[in-house]
Amino acid sequence: MDDDAHSHRSSFFSASPDAESSGPVRSLPLGEPLNSRQSDGGDMRTYTVTVVEELSNSLFALRWHDATLCNYEEQIWAPCLAPGAGRCALSGEHISKGERVYRPRIRGGFIPLNSDAVILASELIKASTRA
């Protein structure tokens, strides 16, 4: 599948759920970069997220490219409640336990390498209307 011009570039970090970002983070329109964030170890991973399609039953197909971890062309993300505190992979906003979020769907014994990623439901819906 070809890369979409509407890819959203940002930085991803694998820090503890309550870790604060190294600088101000704000939500930006699709295609614009977010401020960089670092993990506790100081490493940065750059990834792109593209909304491929809004599916039935409140599911989304996303393209997730991370040169340091994984690539998924049409990964299904499902709605759920956040199991704990964290950061939105799309906007960098803080997520509290119990907030409405989307996570990569786990099927069978396959656990995606980005299974710890979460996206605020409100941010994913905003991004899908701009795509």
* DSSP-derived pairing of the beta strands 119-120 and 8-12: unpaired
24 vs 121: which has the higher pLDDT: 121
Element (H, E) at 125: helix 121-130
- Rounded Cα gap, residues 53 and 76, in angstroms: 10
Q: Is 62 within the bounds of a domain? A: yes
Q: Is 97 within the bounds of a domain? A: yes
Q: Is 14 within the bounds of a domain? A: yes
Claim: this prediction has a pTM higher than 0.85: no
Q: Are the beta carbons of 25 and 36 closer than 8 angstroms?
A: no
Domain containing 36 equals: 8-130
Q: Is 3 within the bounds of a domain? A: no
Q: Taking phi first (over 0 means left), then psi (-120 to 50 degrees means alpha), and beta for anything else, what does residue 58 get?
A: left
Q: In the prediction, which pLDDT does 10 show?
A: 35
What average pLDDT does the chain have?
74
Q: Is 73 within the bounds of a domain? A: yes
Q: Is 27 within the bounds of a domain? A: yes
Q: In the prediction, which pLDDT does 128 show?
A: 84
Q: Is 2 within the bounds of a domain? A: no
**Model pLDDT for residues 92-114, shown as the tens digit of each residue:** 899 999 999 999 999 888 999 99
Q: In the prediction, which pLDDT does 35 show?
A: 35
Q: What are the two backbone dihedrals, phi and then psi, of residue 72, each rounded to the nearest 5 degrees? A: -130, 120
Q: In the prediction, which pLDDT does 83 show?
A: 94
Listed in order, strand segments (DSSP E) in 13-66 are 45-54, 60-66
- Rounded Cα gap, residues 66 and 68, in angstroms: 5
- State the total domains in the chain: 1
- Rounded Cα gap, residues 111 and 45, in angstroms: 20
Q: In the prediction, which pLDDT does 121 show?
A: 97
Q: Is 41 within the bounds of a domain? A: yes
* DSSP-derived pairing of the beta strands 70-81 and 100-104: antiparallel
In the predicted structure, residue 115 carries a pLDDT above the cut 90: yes
Cα-Cα-Cα-Cα torsion 64, 106, 45, 18, nearest 10 degrees, comes to 130
**Model pLDDT for residues 1-46, shown as the tens digit of each residue:** 444 433 333 333 333 333 333 332 333 333 333 333 444 444 555 7
